[in-house]
Amino acid sequence: MNELLWTYVGWPLLKILVILLALVLLAAYLSWFERKLLAYMQIRLGPNRVGPKGWLQPIADALKLFVKEDLTPGFAEKFVFLLGPVLIIVPALVVFSVIPFGPSPHLFITDVNIGVLFILAVSSIGVYGIILGGWASNNKFSLMGGLRSAAQMISYEVPMGFSVVTVLILAKSLSLVRIVEAQKQAGLWFVFPGFVAFLVYFICGVAETNRNPFDLPEAESELVAGYHTEYSGMKFAFYFLAEYANMVVVSSLATVMFFGGWLRPFPNVSALAFLDVIPPLVWFLLKVAFFLFLYIWFRGTFPRYRFDQLMGIGWKVLLPVSLVNLLVVAYFVSLPGGQV
């Protein structure tokens, strides 16, 4: 009985707690990482006052957000205004339940056989948080930010879905653990057969998370702060946290689906076996960190697209490309001996 309780309640709860805490910390430190990295790209120092090299800056920021006055604008739709941050933070955190950080069952919360579908489904709920928050704020800039975000996320979900399907064809499974294992069996990361799909996926991922150069919903110079203009204190922190958590999700998914998850490069080449000294979890985190670095690099480099151009890229470029790519990959897989 005791053992059952441990297996079905205690252990999962512990894992959830650890991952949740790690994730929140990661998101907080991601902001520190971003500020620091961006600063070095921009010939300045970045946060360096709180703690050594500014290491405690995220803690200080979190404390500040906790104790800040929580304002609700006078004419806001109170309940929806409150619902917005909840709707965005919950899906952002829930999707981590299916992301495998390593091979052992201790390193993921659960492995559902529809993992990819689950992630796509749950993460789309996040858009409601943005559009409802933008609408409930009763601010024209927020409303425009919310509308932009809704249009953007919905139209980029389509090519993203198609590029994910490419991976599903290659792996023949929706389970994220099985996808990684398929890459191990095939002996190569899916980024090689599915390079176009990866590009489409990552561009869509940047757009889905509202990051530069697709950060229109919160374009500071146009919409002040977009959908979260009126939010302050913890509610703002939720939006902030969700954005960074979503970045981690997109990077983790890219790692799992295209870069072999926790696998080392060329998992079948035994000459590279010395690389196994690095534990799988570290491999995973390294790859995720690389994608997060890309995010920040983009932010340091690119101007921002305009709304119509953004939609144009989504519908006129990415969608056809991902469709054609899907057909080509499907064709090669269906050839005799074409199994990867």
Rounded Cα distance between 32 and 48, Å, is 10
Encoding tokens for residue 182?
A: 């398929």
Provide, rounded to whole angstroms, the least separation between the CB of residue 178 and other proteins. Answer: 38
* Contact between 220 and other proteins per CB under 8 A: yes
Q: 178 phi and psi, to 5 degrees? A: -65, -35
How many binding residues for other proteins (CB under 8 A)? 30
Q: Tell me the window of 7-15, 119-127, 282-290, 300-308 that interacts with other proteins (CB under 8 A).
A: 300-308
Q: Within positions 303 to 322, which residues make up the interface with other proteins, using CB under 8 A? A: 303-309
Q: What CA–CA distance (Å, rounded) separates 144 from 151?
A: 11
Choose which of 224, 285, 328, 333 interacts with other proteins (CB under 8 A): 224
Among the listed ranges 9-17, 40-48, 122-130, 322-330, the one in contact with other proteins (CB under 8 A) is 40-48
**Is residue 222 a contact point for other proteins (CB under 8 A)?**
yes
Smallest gap from residue 243 Cβ to other proteins (A):
16
**Quick check: 144 binds other proteins (CB under 8 A)?**
yes
Among 152, 210, 212, 325, binds other proteins (CB under 8 A): 212
Tokens standing for residue 219:
């374009």
- State yes or no: residue 219 binds other proteins (CB under 8 A): yes
Residues 113-142 that bind other proteins (CB under 8 A): 140-141
Q: Is 264 exposed, middle or buried (0-12, 13-18, 19+ CB in 10 A)?
A: middle
Give CA–CA dist 114/71, Å, rounded.
Answer: 40
Q: With the C-alpha atoms ordered 108, 110, 115, 121, is the resulting torsion angle positive or negative?
A: negative
Task: Give the range of 173-181, 203-211, 262-270, 301-309 binding other proteins by CB under 8 A.
Answer: 301-309
Provide the angle, in degrees to the nearest 10, between the axes of the packed helices 195-208 and 280-301.
60
Q: Which of 43, 271, 277, 335 binds other proteins (CB under 8 A)?
A: 43
Residue 158 burial (C-beta neighbours within 10 Å; 0-12, 13-18, 19+) = middle
Minimum CB distance to other proteins smaller for 111 or for 222: 222
The yes or no reply on residue 42 touching other proteins (CB under 8 A) is yes
Smallest gap from residue 307 Cβ to other proteins (A): 6
C-alpha closest to that of 256 among 183, 204, 161? 183
- Helix then strand count (H, E) for the chain reads 13, 0
Binder among 157, 215, 230, 243 for other proteins (CB under 8 A)? 215
Give the nearest distance from C-beta 292 to other proteins in angstroms: 18
DSSP 8: I
Q: How far apart are the first and last CA of the chain?
A: 45
Tokens of 44: 């300045």
Residues that bind other proteins (CB under 8 A): 38, 41-44, 140-141, 144, 148, 212-213, 215-216, 219-224, 299-309
